[in-house]
Amino acid sequence: MTAITASTLSVRRAGRAILNDVSLTVEGHSFTAVIGANGAGKSTLLHCLASLLRPEAGQITLDGRAMEKWKPADLARVRAFVPQNPRCDWPISVERLVALGLTPVLPTFGGIPDAMSVRIATALAACDLTAQKGQAATTLSGGELARAMLARALVGDPAMLIVDEPTTGLDPRHAIDAMGRLKALAADGRLVIAAIHDLTLAARYSSAIVALSEGRIIAHGPTDEVLTPDLIRRVFGVEARITRSADGPLVDLLAPA
């Protein structure tokens, strides 16, 4: 089972501690939501875990092997990352954009094998983009591009998926669909970590919470146990009420604390 461990990570920028002595372990079969106020260090933590940013102190291991020991091609086969504000500057088709997620396993020469074409079509359908497959990626709306980048991440069937704000720019239907898909991937054995601002979506879909405040982890554990009005007050400085029904938890933000 895939597992990632961060030990005493520290990242500083312009003399400010963005991450300060952060340690955690996340294993497969889990969907971990990273929550925190703006500037808490969520994106920096995700970039470190994805090996896109090297911390100034501390170490990250993936399946017991230090990140710096992983060859880039091997890491690309098991880890996918979706950024918060995706961009595409080339007018390639949406189908080709999604196919880039298969780069680590594509043959060096020739076209895309039939089996991989099926995987691309499946990823496009899963993210409701079949109708746009021939459209230039540069003409997509922000929400459509976010879905295309998620499809690009999913097409390679990664063991670990790290997503920075998976619902940014998505309408309610596609936001719910994206969260449901991440939950299903975790249930199927994948390791899923996502920074999430919508606390109701985090409450309903994640299995674990990592709460960051000023670059430090102040809570980490099962969602049902960790996500409480007291934690929300400590992290966001607002009063909250959590109600539960057959449809799942609902987080109401009431007033500044």
Per-residue pLDDT, 86: 83
Burial label for 89, CB within 10 Å (0-12, 13-18, 19+), is: exposed
- Measured CA to CA in angstroms, residue 2 lies from 6, 18, 194, 216, 228 at distances of 14, 27, 16, 24, 29
Given a cut of 70, is residue 110 above it in pLDDT? no
Residue 130, domain member (yes or no): no
- DSSP secondary structure letter of residue 165: S
Average pLDDT over residues 234-247: 94
CA distance 241 to 245: 13
pLDDT for residue 211? 98
pLDDT digits (tens, 9 = 90+) for 171-211: 999 999 999 999 999 999 999 999 999 999 999 999 999 99
Over residues 157-169, the mean pLDDT reads 92
The tokens for 2 are 């895939």
The structural domain count of the chain equals 1
122 confidence band (pLDDT: 50, 70, 90): very high
Per-residue confidence (pLDDT) for residue 209, from 0 to 100: 98
- Of 205, 186, 178, whose CA–CA distance to 28 is shortest? 186
Q: Which residues pair with 30 in a beta bridge?
A: 191
pLDDT tens readout for residues 30-85: 999 999 999 999 999 999 999 999 999 999 999 999 999 999 989 988 999 998 88
User: What's the mean pLDDT when you consider all of the chain?
Assistant: 92
Average pLDDT over residues 135-149: 92
Domain that includes residue 194, residue range: 3-87+158-256
- Residue 107's pLDDT is 61
20-35 mean pLDDT? 96
Looking at the domain assignment, is residue 148 inside a domain?
Answer: no
Mean pLDDT in residue range 17-42: 95
* Strand 3-13, strand 16-27: pairing: antiparallel
**Which helix (H) or strand (E) covers residue 7, if one does?**
strand 3-13
| pTM to 2 decimal places | 0.92
Give the side-chain half-sphere CA count within 13 A for 218.
20
Q: What is the pLDDT of residue 88?
A: 84
User: Which of 14, 138, 174 is CA-nearest to residue 151?
Assistant: 174
Q: What is the pLDDT of residue 217?
A: 97
Of 254, 218, 252, residue with least CA distance to 37: 218
Instruction: Tell whether the model's pLDDT for residue 108 goes beyond 60.
Output: no
Residue 60 domain flag = yes
- Report which of 42, 55, 61, 46 is spatially closest to residue 211, judged by C-alpha positions: 42
For residue 109, the model assigns a pLDDT of 55
Residue 70, domain member (yes or no): yes
Say which residues have a Cβ less than 8 Å from residue 188's Cβ, sequence separation at least 6. Answer: none
CB-neighbour burial class of residue 104 (10 A; exposed 0-12, middle 13-18, buried 19+): middle
For the chain, the farthest-separated pair of C-alpha atoms sits apart, in whole angstroms, at 61
Which domain CATH number covers 36? Answer: 3.40.50.300
122 lies in some domain: no
**Residue 100 falls within a domain, yes or no?**
no
Reported as a pLDDT band with limits 50, 70 and 90, residue 116 is: confident
110 part of a folded domain: no
pLDDT band, very low/low/confident/very high, at 97 (cuts 50, 70, 90): very high
Residue 249 inside a domain? The answer is yes
